[in-house]
Structure 1
Amino acid sequence: MWTGTMILTAAANALAVIGIGGGLYEFLVVDPYWPKRQDLIQPAKGGISRKRFWIPAHVLFELTLLLALILSWSIPNVRWWLLVAVGSHAIMRIWSAFDFIPKALAFERIDTGFIEKEARSWILRSRLRLPLDIVTALATLCAFVAAARMN
């Protein structure tokens, strides 16, 4: 029997994996090329709009994770894994909010004077967020398994 906890932890895991997929798409498809072609990441010049993916992806994931945590608060094994997911995701989001997002928005707005060295540095640091995303996804998967074992 599927419970609300199982459904929400499965959804949180699916959304965490979607986030990893979005990150891999940027690492493998976008990041190798945009430092030499800044228009690729500038929506005003016909480039991709990262916001159109990342804002809905993060909002849906965070709401689902929060609801799963609230619903499973009385289940220690599930709660612990969801708290791990919240912690790793929070570290990544806080780091992004103060470092990556402001710089990404600045890169999107730059008209002239684009500095490829700064862009490459941003890309290298950005890849360090992937391990945090993996921890988040694994923790939501473990929460789902813990919930499933209770049934």
Structure 2
Amino acid sequence: MWTPTVLLIAATTVAACISLGGGLYEYLVVDPAWPKRPDIIQPTRGGVSRKRFWIPAHTVFEVLLIVSLIVGWSDAGMRIALIVALVSHAVMRIWSLFDFVPKALAFEKADPAGVDEAAAVRWTRRSILRLPLDLITVGAMIAALVAAAA
């Protein structure tokens, strides 16, 4: 039965999947190319603007996740799954905000000729380590959806 709670959890799950998809896209398409061509990630030079995707994607997911937690709190199965999603997402976001985002902004603002390719490659290799946290988030959201639909 498609109750408002199930629809809310489904929307939150879709938002989590969109974030995972964005991370996979960056890893598979953007990250292999930009260390040799930093202008690819420099919006002022015609490159992609990561913040145009990530700010709305994270904001939508985080708002939906908070509302989902409030709505699903009384159901133990949903609550546990949603807390796992919250914790894994929070760890990824905090790690990103203090480690990856400042370095990404520096790469975006640097003169392309002055970007250290080895440092850029190291950044891309470490960046993939965030994807398991996204996978945990998506898995937890799927578990919450199953609990909501039961």
Please indicate the TM-score interval, normalised by the length of the shorter structure. over 0.9
Structure 1: which amino acid aligns with 2:31?
D
1:138 equivalenced with 2:136 (yes/no) = no
Q: Which runs of 5+ in 2 are unaligned?
A: none
Residues 19-30 of structure 1 aligned to structure 2 (within 5 Å)? 19-30=19-30
Q: Runs ≥4 in structure 1, deviation > 4 angstroms?
A: none
- Distance in 1 of aligned mates of 2:3 and 2:71: 10
Residues 21-60 of structure 1 aligned to structure 2 (within 5 Å)? 21-60=21-60
Structure 1: which amino acid aligns with 2:54?
W
Q: What is the TM-score normalised by the length of structure 2?
A: 0.97
Secondary structure at 1:74's aligned position in 2? coil
Identity of aligned residues (%): 60
Give 1:2 deviation, angstroms: 2.1
Counterpart of 2:82 in structure 1 is 82
Secondary structure at 1:129's aligned position in 2? helix
Give 1:105 deviation, angstroms: 0.5
Q: What is the TM-score normalised by the length of structure 1?
A: 0.96
Deviates more, 1:4-13 or 1:78-87: 4-13
- Distance in 1 of aligned mates of 2:22 and 2:87: 20
Any conservation in 2 of the 1:31–1:123 contact (CA below 8 Å)? yes
- Distance in 2 of aligned mates of 1:27 and 1:115: 19
Q: Which runs of 5+ in 1 are unaligned?
A: none
Give 1:3 deviation, angstroms: 2.1
Give 1:142 deviation, angstroms: 0.4
1:2 equivalenced with 2:2 (yes/no) = yes
- Distance in 2 of aligned mates of 1:55 and 1:62: 11
Counterpart of 2:68 in structure 1 is 68
- Distance in 1 of aligned mates of 2:5 and 2:144: 9
Secondary structure at 2:114's aligned position in 1? coil
Give 1:5 deviation, angstroms: 1.9
1:23-55 deviation digits (Å, cap 9, x = unpaired): 111111111110010100000000000000000
Give 1:4 deviation, angstroms: 2.4
Any conservation in 2 of the 1:4–1:71 contact (CA below 8 Å)? no
What is the count of residue pairs matched by the alignment? 149
C-alpha root-mean-square deviation of aligned residues, in Å? 0.8
- Distance in 1 of aligned mates of 2:78 and 2:70: 11
